[in-house]
Amino acid sequence: MALLDIENLGLAMTSFEGETQILHGIDLTIERGEIWGMVGETGSGKSLTGLSVSRLIPSPPGRYTSGAIRFEGQDLLQADEPAMRRLRGRRIGMIFQDPTTNLNPAFRVGTQLVDVALHAGRADPSVLGLAPGASARALKAAAKARAVEMLDHVGITNPAERIRSYPHELSGGMKQRVLIAMAMIGKPDLLIADEPTTALDVSVQAQILRLMHALVHERDIGVLLITHNLGVVAQICTHVAVMFRGRILEKGPVRAVLKHPSHAYTKALLDAVPRAHTKRGELRGLGGIDMEAAE
């Protein structure tokens, strides 16, 4: 059984102008050990696909018009909120784009980590190394220990002290490490990372990608990595899906798609990547291709 199987997913959003179809029949299957890169320009529906898996799109305005999202066989579109909450943070981890705005500024990073660990531990005590039916006190102690351990694991030095830091006392890269620790503390089977490196500078980007790569291999989990950076895809993804206007135009193993793109849009996207020998004034945009034809 596939870890995640999105089948013919359709999503519509209501606004003042009426209902607009946003996602058109998304099909995507992620197995354990696969890192799927999802690329596409702004507004192509990458993030909404990611948020749909965790059922984080409020309804209204969102409405699923068709399809299913099966997580280990269970259709998440049929799941109620309590059932979804048991999956979030425990079976499905999420990381978002901007580390400076995704940590709560009024709380120590430890408080937030411990609360997520406690939530995951309540759903499944074995996550914290406890037997089923562990006491609340045991859970709390284990959650605290696990928070320190997890900070250490994502490469934060002096974790026992750092756990008492407020977000504004940490650098952007450290904050993203904390957020990765928060997403991974419940030992999820699926990680959805929505542009996790976009807000970081290049050298930190590489560190964070290496860290994610290591964590994924260690745990054998599936990853949906949403990005608009083809360089990132080439570096760590095993598979790639190219999105455009709410559709997946092309998908497959990363090598095949990037080396031999079958779709005109993918080609245009690849040509738009600036290279070291690109001359001044030669930077190509996507304006040259016929969007209607591409659809």
168 binds another protein (CB under 8 A): yes
Q: How far is the CB of 293 from another protein (least distance, A)?
A: 36
CB 93 within 8 A of CB 4: no
Among 9, 26, 87, 212, binds another protein (CB under 8 A): 87
Is 275 a binder of another protein (CB under 8 A)?
A: no
Site string for another protein, 6-35 (x = CB under 8 A): ------------------------------
Does 52 bind another protein (CB under 8 A)? Our answer is: no
Binding segment for another protein (CB under 8 A), chosen from 26-34, 143-151, 181-189, 256-264, is 181-189
Q: Which residues contact 201 (CB under 8 A, 6 or more apart)?
A: 172
- The verdict on 124 binding another protein (CB under 8 A) reads no
Closer by beta carbon to another protein, 54 or else 227: 54
Alpha-carbon distance 2 to 12, whole Å? Answer: 26
Distance CA 188, CA 166 (A): 25
Q: DSSP labels for 134-165? A: --HHHHHHHHHHHHHHHHHHTT-SSHHHHTT-
Rounded Cα–Cα distance for residues 20 and 286 (Å)? 24
Residues 6+ apart with CB under 8 A from 203: none
Closer of 93 and 261 to another protein (Cβ): 93
From 18, 105, 274, 285, residue interacting with another protein (rule: CB under 8 A)? 105
Binding residues for another protein, rule CB under 8 A, total: 31
Beta-carbon neighbour count of residue 274 at 10 Å? 9
- Name the one range near another protein by CB under 8 A: 32-40, 70-78, 98-106, 125-133: 98-106
The enclosing H or E element of 53 equals helix 46-53
Nearer to another protein, 7 or 124 (CB): 124
Task: List all residues 6 or more positions away from 3 whose beta carbon is below 8 Å from its beta carbon.
Answer: 30, 31, 32, 71, 72, 189, 190, 221, 222
54 binds another protein, rule: CB under 8 A: yes
The reply on whether position 129 binds another protein by CB under 8 A is: no
Does residue 179 bind another protein (CB under 8 A)?
Answer: yes
Pairwise CA distance, residues 94 & 295, whole Å: 30
Residues that bind another protein (CB under 8 A): 54, 56, 85-90, 93-94, 96, 98, 101-107, 112, 115-116, 119-120, 123, 166, 168, 179, 182-183, 186
